[in-house]
Amino acid sequence: MTARLGWAPYALLLPSLAFLAVFFATPMVQAFGLAFQSPDGTFGVSSIERMLGDARFRSALLTTVALVVLIIPIQFALAMSMALVINARLKGQGLWLYVYALPLGISELAAGIVWVSIFTQSGWLNSILMGFGIIDRPITWQSAETPWLLIMCVVIAEAWRATSIIMIILVAGLQSIPREFIEAADVYGATTWQKVRRVILPMLRPSLQVALILRTILAFQVFATVIAIAGSGLFVLAREAQRWATDIQNDHIAAAYAGLILVLSLFSTVLFLVLLPTKDEQQL
């Protein structure tokens, strides 16, 4: 039977491959074509140079990298805590998982607005701090004059929104660790911390690697959360790509910004593959 239908799997794959060729591979290549072209159509690095010389470039690059560097460790600490809580099999395990997974479906923009309602001048954070008598007049959290506060606001919003996906990957990874391993550690009197450090983390390495790679790639694309929370107080790479594409309508410089995000993503992927080698690289 298998021999008779030897062509069947290929016929089933064909639509996906064709679609990805047209709508994924082609634009990916075209993006580089655009970036290495000037608006008059001549090839060269003039668009790249214009991007590098753009007044906002330095700030956008630094802010994006700062956000990635701050967001990723915070999210992993949170996701790991959530995953360990789920793995501890509390009462109502499904409910805890559901609550922690809630933000999985929440968009960047919606999450940004949720935290605007908290950080805005007359918002919830100031109201609550006043209520407890911690401050006597509202603090301005979102001001272009204090970019570090703005960055912290974005980091918190992103930690809230995008930790769930890491948590889910880690929970799935934890569940694949044989319970006997942890029981063995119990028998030898390991403390909780020792179990995490010596048994769980090493066995979780493939899941951690996948989650790190995925999340870092996404973090380099941070966009709507920043616009919602920081307005024109912070510039990030994805936002500059969008500004050049829609406001200034120069696709070449927009593509250069997008290409830079791609290069940073690939660089971070390689970095994680080298730093956290696993036996089976096909896990990605």
Partner 1 sequence: MSVVRHDIPLARRRSGREHLVGRALIYLAATLLALFILVPIYLIAVSAFTPPDRAFDFPRSVVPAELNFETIVFFLNAFGVVDSFWRSVIVAMITLVLALLIGAPAGYAIARYAFRGRSGFRLVILSTRAFPIVILAIPLAVTYRLWGINDSVIGVALMHTALALPFTVLITSSVFVSVPRELEEAAQTLGCNPLQAFLRVSLPLALPGLAAAAIFTWVLSWNDVFAAVILTLQNPTLPARILTALTQSPIYFQFAAGFVMLVPSLVVIFFIRKYLLGLWGRVVK
**Total chain residues near partner 1 (CB under 8 A):** 111
Which residue bears the tokens 């970036």? 35
Residue 55 Cβ vs partner 1, minimum distance, rounded to whole Å: 20
Residue 10, classed as helix, strand or coil, is helix
- Does residue 228 belong to the site contacting partner 1 (CB under 8 A)? yes
Q: Alpha-carbon torsion 261, 271, 107, 31, what sign?
A: positive
* Interface pick for partner 1 out of 53, 55, 178, 246 (rule CB under 8 A): 246
Q: How far apart are CA 192 and CA 9, in angstroms?
A: 48
User: In sequence order, what DSSP letters do the residues of 28-47 get, joined into one string?
Assistant: HHHHHHHHTB-TTS-BSSHH
* Interface pick for partner 1 out of 44, 202, 231, 277 (rule CB under 8 A): 231
Q: Find the binding residues for partner 1 in span 196-225 (CB under 8 A).
A: 206-207, 210, 213-214, 217-218, 220-221, 223-224
Q: Which residues contact 198 (CB under 8 A, 6 or more apart)?
A: 185, 190
Q: Find the binding residues for partner 1 in span 86-145 (CB under 8 A).
A: 88, 90, 94, 96-110, 112-118, 120-124, 126-128, 130-131, 138
Give the bridge partners for 43, in sequence order: 37
- Does residue 74 belong to the site contacting partner 1 (CB under 8 A)? no
Q: Find the binding residues for partner 1 in span 152-191 (CB under 8 A).
A: 160, 165, 168-169, 171-173, 175-176, 179, 183, 186-189
Structure tokens at 87: 């793995």
Q: Which is nearer to partner 1, 43 or 124 (CB)?
A: 124
